[in-house]
Structure 1
């Protein structure tokens, strides 16, 4: 099972908190969000490189 952070996860007081587990729904939503953001990131990178190399 995947976790959001490597152990140990500490709370605001420095105490070890319960391990954060990612659900299938979280993974699905994160994947869909990444797929939407990828073309935008590619366009930004292309513009940055084009501007830098001119």
Structure 2
């Protein structure tokens, strides 16, 4: 778990990561969107 003292930093990092991921997903085909989404889900579970 991430220390509760860093909620703002964590939120900023997650938002930045999701924004970047969505930009990449928009430039790729549907099949790659699924792969990208699975990567985001895995990373999110890893963070938590």
Assess same fold via TM > 0.5: no
Higher relative contact order (CA 8 A, sep 6+): 2
TM-score (norm 2): 0.42
TM-score (norm 1): 0.40
Structure with the largest fraction of helix: 2
Could you say which structure has the larger radius of gyration? 1
